Copies of this chain bind each other. A is one copy, B any other.
Amino acid sequence: MDDEEASQRVLDAAEALFYERGLQSVGIDDIRSTSGVSLKRLYRCFHSKQELVTAYLDRTDRRWRAALANYVRSAAEDPRDAILAVFDWLGLWFAEPGFRGCAFINAHGELGEVSPAVAAATRRHKEALLAYLTQLAEQAVPGAGRALANQLLLVVEGSIVTAAVHGASGAASAGRAAAAALLDAAELSRTARLHRD
Residue of B nearest to A106 (CB): B109
C-alpha spacing A186/B22, complex, angstroms: 39
Q: Is the interface of A mostly helix, strand, loop or mixed?
A: helix
Report B-chain residues with C-beta under 8 Å of the C-beta of A108.
101, 109, 164-165
Size class of the A contact interface (CB-based, 8 Å): 35 or more
CB contact under 8 A between A151 and B166, given known A107-B109, A158-B161: no
Q: Does A91 contact B (CB under 8 A)?
A: no
Q: Does A20 contact B (CB under 8 A)?
A: yes
Question: Which of B24, B104, B158 touches A155 (beta carbons < 8 Å)?
Answer: B158
Additional A-B contacts beyond A24-B110, A154-B171 (11; CB < 8 A): A21-B114, A24-B24, A108-B165, A147-B174, A151-B155, A151-B181, A153-B158, A154-B174, A157-B158, A181-B182, A181-B186
- Which residues of A approach B to under 8 Å, CB–CB? 20-22, 24-25, 100-101, 104-114, 122-123, 126-127, 147, 150-151, 153-159, 161-162, 164-166, 170-171, 174-175, 177-178, 181-182, 184-186
